[in-house]
Amino acid sequence: MIPLINLKQQFQEVKDDILNEFECVLESGQYILGPKVKLLEDRIAERLGVEEAVAVANGTDALVLTLQAYGIGEGDEVITTPFTFFASAEAVSRVGATPVFADVDPETYNIDPAKIEEKITTATKAIIPVHIFGQPADMDDIMAIAKKHGLFVIEDACQAFGAEYKGRPVGSLGDAACFSFFPTKNLGTLGDGGMVTTSDRDAARKIRSLRTHGTRKKYFHNQIGFNSRLDELHAAILLIILEKIDSWNEQRRNIAKRYQRALSGVSDLELPKEKEDRSHIYHLYCLGAEKRDEMMNTLQEYQIQSGIYYPRCLHLQDVYSFLPYKKGDFPVAESLSEKLFAIPMHPFLLKEEQDQIISVLLKRGEG
Ligand SMILES: *Cc1c(COP(=O)(O)O)cnc(C)c1O
């Protein structure tokens, strides 16, 4: 079976370094929010050219703590995309605010700036664009709308570490940005982890306090916070992966180029489009087919794994049935949920495996 993603192989590539770090951390006596975490924060802030990076327990918490740091809660609205992983909207609900959805662009699958403004009310406080599958959203347009209406922009960059928009890295484009280090993310660890990046020192200070039970200093609490800390071991592993991420992202991009070259022109396949002014890091390689089930079945017959991201838009999730949405409200997002499927994409996908995937899709496409 050719898997969608091969984590075992990925971590095997850096096994010796990881085992070495394991020993260092074990010997250090510091296991949570210690010097490795601080170093990871510094490296990421420096790389992105932002003032602060604050490590937290996971990407969802990164979003929740950031929303709370900006004072967003009950009675507030936050505009985001219905075509994303659930956590992008869940974080909004978690702080007591209401997610408001705006449809996506059919080419990039990202929130469509032209659909945002009509959703703004007096209750709107922020926009959460998601750089879906690793391609940056239309940040200039989104920032201009936010500025005009006095809204915060919180990038959900959980799928896009290393992607760039007009030469600037995601994570440095909004007021703040959130990353996930879940194992399957392109910058992932052997467990959970997350990071908020921002040049807003006040927000960073609040998030640092929130991640450790709302402390001002140890044992002095000035707000109700969270236990949302990053472990030293994960920080140590992430420092290793951080050294690799550019070459791993480049390998993903090269595989995407090969898929693109081989599959363009196949009539019943819609390939992902990469905009010229930004770089896609292909956290996932999703393509569209009207006959998705048949395509996926054929791939399965040839021992090639495929997957659906995402089979149900967020406005149609059971838990959001209390929100004023119905099927048909976001036709672009809904059609993506009906036609997109992901094929294997990871830095260590062999040429022969790529060829096999391509030949099955070509055969299927012609047939
Ligand atoms: C993975 C992901 C999250 C949540 O990250 P966790 O670390 O799993 O909590 C949020 N948003 C998007 C778009 C994601 O892909």
Three-state SS for 87-150 is HHHHHHHHCCCEEEECCECCCCCCECHHHCHHHCCCCEEEEECECHHHCCCCHHHHHHHHHHHC
Q: Which helix (H) or strand (E) holds 220?
A: strand 220-221
**Given pLDDT bands bounded at 50, 70 and 90, which one contains residue 300?**
very high
**Considering 199, 215, 238, which residue would you say is the last residue of a domain?**
238
- Cβ–ligand 1 distance for 88 under 6 Å, the answer yes
Ligand 1 atom nearest residue 182's Cα: 7
User: Can you give the pLDDT at residue 250?
Assistant: 98
- Nearest alpha carbon to residue 63 among 186, 226, 183, 185: 226
Amino acid, res. 18: I
CA 87 to ligand 1: nearest atom: 10
Q: Is the peptide bond before 302 cis (omega within 30 degrees of 0)?
A: no
pLDDT of residue 1: 94
Range of the domain at 138: 7-238
Count of beta carbons in the 10 Å neighbourhood of residue 242 = 18
The answer, yes or no, to whether any atom of ligand 1 lies below 6 A from the CB of 180, is yes
Q: Is 1 part of a structural domain of the chain?
A: no
* Marked catalytic residue, from 185, 217, 273, 275: 185
Model's pTM, two decimal places?
Answer: 0.98
339 given a catalytic annotation: no
**Same structural domain, 207 and 255:** no
pLDDT band at 268 (very low <50, low <70, confident <90, very high): confident
Among 238, 263, 282, the domain boundary falls at 238
Q: Is residue 87 scored above 90 in pLDDT?
A: yes
CA of 180 to the centre of ligand 1 (A): 6
Under 8 Å between Cβ of 151 and 127: yes
Are 208 and 229 in contact by the 8 Å Cβ rule? The answer is no
Q: At what angle do helices 35-48 and 232-263 cross, to 10 degrees?
A: 40
Domains: count for the chain: 2
The pLDDT of 195-224, averaged and rounded, is 96
User: What is the atom index within ligand 1 of the atom nearest the CA of 185?
Assistant: 1
Whole-angstrom CA distances from 201 to 29, 45, 48, 50 are 30, 12, 15, 10
CA of 80 to the centre of ligand 1 (A): 14
Helix axes 59-69, 201-211, angle to 10 degrees: 120
Question: What CATH number does the domain containing 304 carry?
Answer: 3.90.1150.10
* DSSP 3-state of 279: strand
